[in-house]
Amino acid sequence: MTDTMTPEQRHRCMSHIRSKATKPELKVRRWLWSHGYRYRLNVKSVPGKPDIVLRPYRTAIFVNGCFWHGYGVRLEVAQIENSELKIENSACCKIPSSNREFWVAKIRRNRERDQENYRVLQENGWQVIVVWECQLTPKKIEHTMREVELLLNDNLLSLYKHHAPIHYTIEEEDAPLPMAAESNQL
Ligand SMILES: [Zn+2]
């Protein structure tokens, strides 16, 4: 990635990218919608403004771009050595060779903000699911989203577990219980 933009241009470019629904996020939304899940987007009342909010599941989903959120890249080993930064790139996050310090600082800040958002959500009783861009390729999306679905249902169950059991009785004439057919009734 070449870096020929002025800081102002770069800022405008990046805020543009961030504010628009990214393609990976659309993939997740489409899958959820077509499987009957209803959600809200960028809910401001929920801390960290998650991409997708499923209130009945008390779950926030973040769909993270691998580059911007530094998936798998090791920045913690970054150090200045002969004025070169040493960084361990990952398969899906490669820090550009020009302007490295800028990109490292940028991605590090994004990661710190992510962690802070997840922490605040969890402290407020929300479950957090993070889906990575590279898990949404045509080959992987079904598997990824089935796992998301499992997590969602697990979250819903854990909400019910916190409620005391509700006892109720049904008058038989109002709502007869279904009877299993027995062989001697045939
Ligand atoms: Zn990735």
pLDDT digits (tens, 9 = 90+) for 145-167: 999 999 999 999 998 887 776 77
Tell me the CA–centroid distance for residue 70 and ligand 1, in Å.
8
Percent of the chain with pLDDT strictly greater than 70: 71
Angstrom distance (rounded) from CA 69 to CA 65: 6
Higher-confidence residue of 29 and 101: namely 29
Looking at the domain assignment, is residue 154 inside a domain?
A: yes
Indicate whether 170 belongs to any domain. no
What values do phi and psi take at 15, rounded to 5? -70, -30
Express as a percent the part of the chain with pLDDT over 90: 49
Mean pLDDT of 102-113: 92
Residue 164 lies in a domain: no
**Is 131 within the bounds of a domain?**
yes
User: Could you tell me the CATH number of the domain that includes residue 106?
Assistant: 3.40.960.10
Q: What is the DSSP string of 32-49?
A: HHHTT---EES-TTSTT-
Residue 163, burial from CB neighbour count under 10 angstroms (0-12, 13-18, 19+): exposed
Q: How remote is the CA of residue 92 from the centroid of ligand 1, in Å?
A: 4
Q: Write down the pLDDT at residue 186.
A: 46
* pLDDT at residue 154, as a whole number: 94
Ligand 1 center from residue 84 Cα (angstroms): 25
Residue that wins the pLDDT comparison between 181 and 104? 104
Q: What is the distance in A from the centroid of ligand 1 to the CA of 111?
A: 14
Helix axes 141-161, 23-34, angle to 10 degrees: 60
Residue 62's nearest CA partner among 5, 8, 136 is 136
Q: How far is the CA of 151 from the centre of ligand 1 (A)?
A: 20
Q: Higher-confidence residue: 40 or 10? A: 40
Which residues neighbour 1 within 8 Å (Cβ) at sequence distance 6 or greater? 96, 98
C-alpha 140 to ligand 1 mean position (Å): 12
Start-end of H helices in the chain: 7-19, 23-34, 100-123, 141-161
Per the structure, the complete domain to which residue 65 belongs is given by 14-159
pLDDT of the residue at 91: 87
Spacing, Cα 129 to ligand 1 middle (Å): 15
* DSSP annotation string for 11-35: HHHHHHHHHSPPHHHHHHHHHHHHT
Contact between residue 156 and residue 56 where contact means Cβ atoms under 8 Å apart:
yes
CA of 158 to the centre of ligand 1 (A): 29
Residue carrying structure tokens 């390729």: 137
**Count of the separate structural domains present in the chain:** 1
Mean pLDDT, the chain, rounded, equals 82
At 78 the pLDDT is 45
The answer to the question of residue 52 being in a domain is yes
User: Within a domain: residue 145?
Assistant: yes
Does 171 reside within a domain? no
| d(CA 90, ligand 1 centre) in Å | 8
Please tell me the distance between residue 180's alpha carbon and the centre of ligand 1 in angstroms. Answer: 52
For the residues 6-34, what does the mean pLDDT come to? 72
Residue 179 lies in a domain: no
Confidence of residue 76 (pLDDT cuts 50, 70, 90): low
Spatial separation of the C-alpha atoms in residues 36 and 145, rounded to whole Å: 13
At 39-69, the pLDDT tens digits run 999 788 888 889 999 999 999 999 999 999 9
